[in-house]
Amino acid sequence: MANKTRDEIEEEIDEEYDEETIRREFRHKRRIRNQIITYAVTAIFLIGIAVGVFLGAKSVLTSVSDKKHAEELQAQLDELQKEEEPVVIEAPETTPEPVEEKSYLDEIVDSCIAEMPLEDKVKGLFIITPEALTGTDIVVRAGDTTKEKISEHAVGGLIYFKQNMKDSAQLTEMLSNTVSYSKYPMFLAVDEEGGSVSRVAEAKLADNVGTMKEIGATQDTAKAQEAGATIGNYLTGFGFNLNFAPVADVAMEGNETIGDRSFGNNAGEVATMVAASVDGMQSSGMNVCVKHFPGLASSEEDTHDGMASTEKTLEDFETTDFLAFQAGIDAGTEFVMVSHLSVPNITGDNTPSSLSEKMITEVLRGQLGFEGIVITDAMNMAAITDYYGSDEAAVKALQAGADMILMPEDFEAAYNGIIEAVNNGTLSEERINESLRRVYRVKYKDKVEE
């Protein structure tokens, strides 16, 4: 190195400086590059995080939106379903009726009524005597005259008395022929209570079971049931199918209006006897009619002789006679006979019960729940004939809610009065049909298959 010149030495120093400078610049540039790369990577990482957060947030928001939309859609579907579903009202728990049997019976009844002219419908609401039908004094046989008159007057039934009964063969043949002549089913009726009101027993064609007073005094319902069955059996044997018995009136001490025809004066005991009697008679297939609603024994007068009235209130009847009538209804009686008794403390006037809508429709049907056939007591009694014509009485009875009219004083006048009432709008034909349906449900009940 000692042999080198100054210039050579300076030149070498300059070269080493330049190389060091270059190296420093290179390192500086490398640091800057590395920093740029680091910043870029960091920026990219941060951008990635930001994008990820954005996408995540968007996904969450979309999910929330979708869930909210789904909930709103489901709510709308639920609302539509509520609107479409019918409101179901559960019926009260009751003992179901035999639906098929009832439907079949109604079909038979409606079919029969649909084919009947108005004249036959109206005549079908009457039960009259064979004498009123034929125009003869005493009927003991059913021959050509009966056949002709039944064809002309399709009455709902005939009622027979002792005078029509001579012997067993005659009675059986008369009833059989009468039924064969009619184009419609008929009621063949009789008053066979036992005791003093026993038409067949009075004619010596059956043994009298005794008075209901005697049977009631035993307090043995089996005896009432047995007496009812005995009466029912011999009546059906002759061909009768309707008995105007038993008496459901509750006797009053010292009152002779009903006398020994009642089971007694204790309402509760009378009620049990009536139910047993109804059950006994029906066991033979006999149609039964309890009588004389609302209770004749509460009056001193006799409706056969003129107006009969009572001061008893509705509450009085509810604790006496109504107990017996209710028992008969609950036992299944097909008929209730309404008397001509006036009850002003219930109706507000002296209208006979048989012509009173209050007594028949509101009390007997509404309060006691009777759905069967309501028949008037005999309309030839003075309690009716002294105040009403046969036509007026017949129309009023149907307006009040009665279904059948028993023994009008003048059958032709009563029939014509109802026809005129239908024609002038006082009564509707549907009102006639309403009663006729009740009548024919009883007449056709045996045609329903067991």
Q: What is the CA radius of gyration of the chain?
A: 49
377 is an active site residue: yes
* Residue closest to 382 by CA, chosen among 342, 331, 435, 417: 342
Query: How many Cβ atoms from other residues are within 10 Å of residue 420's Cβ?
Result: 13
* Rounded Cα–Cα distance for residues 133 and 414 (Å): 13
* Rounded Cα–Cα distance for residues 132 and 368 (Å): 34
| Joined tokens for residue 336 | 């209730």
Q: Which of 69, 220, 304, 386 is catalytic?
A: 304
| Cα 115–Cα 373–Cα 355 angle in degrees, nearest 5 | 105
* Cis? peptide before 246, omega within 30° of 0: yes
**Which amino acid belongs to residue 261?**
R
304 is an active site residue: yes
* Cis? peptide before 130, omega within 30° of 0: no
* Rounded Cα–Cα distance for residues 430 and 419 (Å): 13
Helix (H) / strand (E) element for 89: namely none
Chain position carrying tokens 């089971």:
263
Q: Which of 191, 321, 377, 410 is catalytic?
A: 377
Q: At what angle do helices 168-181 and 221-238 cross, to 10 degrees?
A: 70
Q: Which residues contact 185 (CB under 8 A, 6 or more apart)?
A: 440, 443, 444
Catalytic sites, residue numbers: 304, 377
